[in-house]
Structure 1
Amino acid sequence: MPRCTCYTKIPLVDSRIKELFERYQSGDASIEERRLVEDWFAAFDSQQQKDFSKEHSAELFVQMDRKIGSMLESHPARNRMSARWLQVAAVFLIGAGLVFYKTFSRAPKVPAGYTLISVPKGVKKQLSLPDGSTVYLNSGSTLRISPGFGVTNRRISLTGEGFFIVKHNQTNPFTIQSGRLIITDIGTSFNVKAYAEESLVKVAVESGEVNVKEENAGKEAPIFPKSIIRNQQLIYSKDSRRAILNDTQTIEVSAWRKNQLRFDNASFGEIATTLERWYGVTVNVHGHTDNRRYTVSFNNEPVSNVLKVLGKLSGMSYQVINKSIQINLKPNKSMK
C-alpha cells in the first residue's frame, strides 16, 4: 500500500507564495521562479523517508517566502494570508516515484500536478511520459516533470542519469534542465548523466541530434556546438563552465539500462561512488589512490564478483559486512 502523508492548514503562507505556485502551475513562471519552486519540492524529496511535523512544513514555506522576498526586493511586503490560500493537499509515495498534488483556492488553468520521480540506489526504472516519450532512470536519479507536461509544455529536470527516447514535436520541444544546462531534443534518443555530486555533465546522442546551452549565460556564455549528433558526447564542467565535444559509442555509454556496469578510465573514488548507486551499498576506500585508472565492464554481475575482479586488477583487499564494503588499496600496485 502506498504511504500517504497529508499536510493541511499550513500557517503563515504569504500571498506571494500562492501567486508563485499559480504561475508555476500555469506555465507562466520565469526560469528563476521555476527553480525556486523545484528546489522547494526537492526539500520534500530529500526528506521523503521522514515524517514532517506541521512546524517543519510551515518552516519550509517560511524559507520560500524569505527567498521570494530577496528575489523581489523592489516589491512592497504583503500581509500574511491564511493557509487556506495554499496547501499541499497530499503527498503520495507511488513505488519509487513521489507525486505532489497541489490544491489552490481556485481551479488550475492546466492539468494539476507537479510530478517528482525518485529512483533509489540499487534500482533502475523505465517509464512512459504523457507525450509518448520513454525514459530510463539510473540508480539514485530524480526526474521532475512540470505541470501541464504534454499539453502546454514538455519541460522536465533531471538530477542523476537518464536515457531518453523522445517523441519529436516541432511545435512543442522537449527540454531537460540539468543544473545550468538546458538540453533540447531535435528528434532523438540520448543519454544524460548529471549527478549533483559530480563536477561533469555528460550528454551522449544515440540517434538524431540535440542542442545544449547554458541557462542565463549572459555575456560570458561558454561556447557550445550547434548540435550534438549520433555517437558524439558533450562533456560540460560545472566548475570551469567549459564544454568539449568527443566521439563516443553511445550504446556503451547507455549500457547501464541493460544492466551492464562499465568503468571507463575511472578512478577508485569514481568506482566506489558508482558501486554505491548501482548496488545500494556503502563503500569506504582506504589508502592512497594515486593516479590509477581502470577500464572494465560487467554484465549483470553481483557485487561480490565485481569486487573479486577489481581485487585481481588492483591488488586491493576488501571486506563486506551487510551493506557496507571496506576497500583497502595497496600502494604502488597498478592495473595491467
Structure 2
Amino acid sequence: MNRNRLQYLLERYQKSVCSAEELKELDDWYRSLNYGDHAFEQEIKSREEKEQLSDILFEGFQKRLANEKEPLPTINRWYPLAAAAVLLFVAGAVLFFVYPKTDVKKPSVASNKTQILPGSNKAILTLADGEQVVLDDATTHGIPDQYGMKLTRVDSSLLTYSIANGRAPQHAEELAYNTIETPRGGQYQVMLPDGTKVWLNAATILRYPVKYSTNERKVELSGEAYFEVAANKSQPFIVVTGKQEINVLGTHVNVKSYKDEQLTSTTLISGSVRVHDLNTDESVILTPGQQANTRLMSKKMSITAVNAQDVVSWKNGYMVFDNQDIYSIMKVISRWYNVDVVYSQVDKKERFGGTFSRYAHLQHILENLEQIGSARFSVQGREVVVSNRLLAR
C-alpha cells in the first residue's frame, strides 16, 4: 500500500466512513507489517494533531466496544476485538485483548486532574573526564571532541560518533569510557564509534569506550537495549551485563538486564550470538527467535522460542503484554511513565494481555487494564496505588 492510499484510509477511518472493504484493506496492511511500518510511524509522529487523532480513534473504539452485542469466539482465554481496531495500535491509541468473561464497565481510575504523560527522548552523557551533558530537547550547546572522535546530536533522540576532521582517532594508553544513561521516563539512541546503533529503553545505563581496543568491542549494560551491531569479524562485539556476556557478530539483538529484576534475557532478532551465563559458566549459541534467560541463583540457563517482534515492541513505540501478572506490567509502566507503584490487596494469579501505545497518557493505559481484569488504580501525584475490586469486597 502506498503512502497516499494509507493516508486516505486513515482519514476515512478517523471520520468513521470506512467501508467494510476499506477496513479489511487496513487490517491486511497491518498484518503484513510485523508490528509497525517505520514510514507510517514517522507520518503519525509528525502530525501536529497526533494526540487529538489518537483521542478521536480511541473514543470511537470505546463506543464500538460498548455497543458490541455478539460475543466473539475465544482463543486460549483471549479474544481480539474488532479487526478494524488494529489501526489504533499504530495510530497512538490502544488495542488490547479481553478475557471472555469480562463485562464492559465504565473505567473507575481515581486520579488527580493532571494527566501523566508518557516518556520522551532524554538522557545524560557522562564523558571520560567526568563532564556531564544533558541530552534532551532543551540542549543547545555542543559536545567536545574526544580522542579524535566527534560527538554530534543529530536531533533530540540520537547521538553519533564519527572521526573528527577526517583524522584517525588518537591513541590512548588506557581505554577511555563514556556513559549514557536514560532516566525513568526517558529513551535515547546512540551510534557508537564503530557504527553500531543502540536504542536505550527507560532506566538504562550503557558504558562504552570512546575508542575500542584492537581485538574486541566491549560495552557494559544495565537496563534494556536493542543493538544493531556493525559487522567486524576481527573485533567481536561483546555486551556484558550482571549475569550474561553476549558475544555477537553483525547481528540484531535485544538485551534486558535490570538490576531490580532477577531475570536477564537476550533475544536474537537476526544473525548469530553466543550467550555466556556468568553464574554457571554455561554457553549457548542462539538462532533468530530464541531467547536465553538467566535467573539469579539458577543452576541452568533456559532457552525459549519467543515472538521477537513482541520483545522489541518498546523500540517501535508499543508495550506488548502476554499473559503477565500485574507486577510485571506495572514495572514496565513505572519506568516509562516515571511513577511509583504501591500495591494493596492484589491478585497475584491474575494475568493480563494486550498491546498499548507508548504515546498514550497513563490514564488511558490504566483505564483499559481495569476493563480487562479486576485490578483497580488510584493515581495521586506520581504514585499509582494498585488494588483489586474482587478482593476489596
Length-normalised TM-score, structure 2 = 0.55
Give the CA deviation at 1:313: 1.5
- Structure 2: distance between partners of 1:123 and 1:248: 26
* Matches for 1:58-73 after TM superposition, within 5 Å: none
TM-score, normalising length from structure 1?
0.64
Q: Pick from 241, 255, 258: which aligns with 1:192? A: 255
Instruction: Tell me whether 1:286 sits opposite 2:319 in the alignment.
Output: no
Corresponding position: 1:229 with 2:287 = yes
Superposed, which structure 2 residues align to 1:145-294 within 5 Å? Answer: 145-146=208-209, 148-149=211-212, 153-215=216-278, 221=280, 223-225=282-284, 227-294=285-352
Instruction: Give ranges in structure 2 of 5+ residues lacking alignment.
Output: 1-123, 147-169
Give the fraction of aligned pairs with identical amino acids, expressed as a percent: 24
Structure 1 residue 112: Cα displacement: 5.9
Which of 301, 311, 324 is the equivalent residue of 2:370?
311
- Change in Cα spacing, 1:208 to 1:287, as seen in structure 2 (3 Å) is same
Give the letter for the 2:268 counterpart: V
Q: Deviations over 1:250-297 (max 9, x none)?
A: 111001011101122221111221111011111212113231121211
Q: 1:299 to 1:186 in 2, by over 3 A?
A: same
Amino acid corresponding to residue 209 of structure 1 in structure 2: S
* Partner of residue 21, structure 2: none
- 2:207 alignment partner AA: R
- 1:150 positional shift: 6.6
How much has 1:155 moved relative to structure 2?
0.6
The answer to whether residue 144 in structure 2 is matched with residue 144 in structure 1 is no
Going from structure 1 to structure 2, the CA distance change for 1:213 and 1:89 (only over 3 Å counts) comes to closer
Matched, 1:128 2:191: yes
In structure 1, how many angstroms separate the alpha carbons of the residues matched to 2:262 and 2:173?
A: 36
Deviation at residue 90 of structure 1 after TM alignment: 3.9
- Aligned to 2:193, what secondary structure does the other structure show? coil
Correspondence for 2:361 among 302, 308, 312: 302
Q: Is the 8 A contact 1:111 1:147 kept in 2?
A: no
- Contact 1:123-1:278 at 8 Å conserved across structures: yes
Distance 1:241 1:195 in 2: 20
How many residues get paired? 238
- Does the alignment pair 1:95 with 2:135? yes
Aligned 8 A contact 1:141 1:160 in 2 = yes
Contact 2:175 2:209 in 1 (8 A): no
CA deviation map 1:52-101 (0-9, x unaligned): xxxxxxxxxxxxxxxxxxxxxxxxxxxxxxxxxxxx9543233279x9x9
Structure 1 counterpart of 2:384, one-letter code: I
Change (3 A) 1:245 1:143: same
Instruction: Give the unaligned 5+ runs of structure 1.
Output: 1-47, 49-87
CA RMSD in angstroms, aligned pairs only: 2.9
State the shift of 1:222 in Å: 5.0
Higher relative contact order (CA 8 A, sep 6+): 2
Q: Say if 2:208 and 2:220, in contact at 8 Å, map to a contact too.
A: yes
Given that 1:111 and 1:148 are in contact with CA atoms closer than 8 Å, whether structure 2 keeps it comes out as no
In 1, Cα distance between equivalents of 2:177 and 2:329: 34
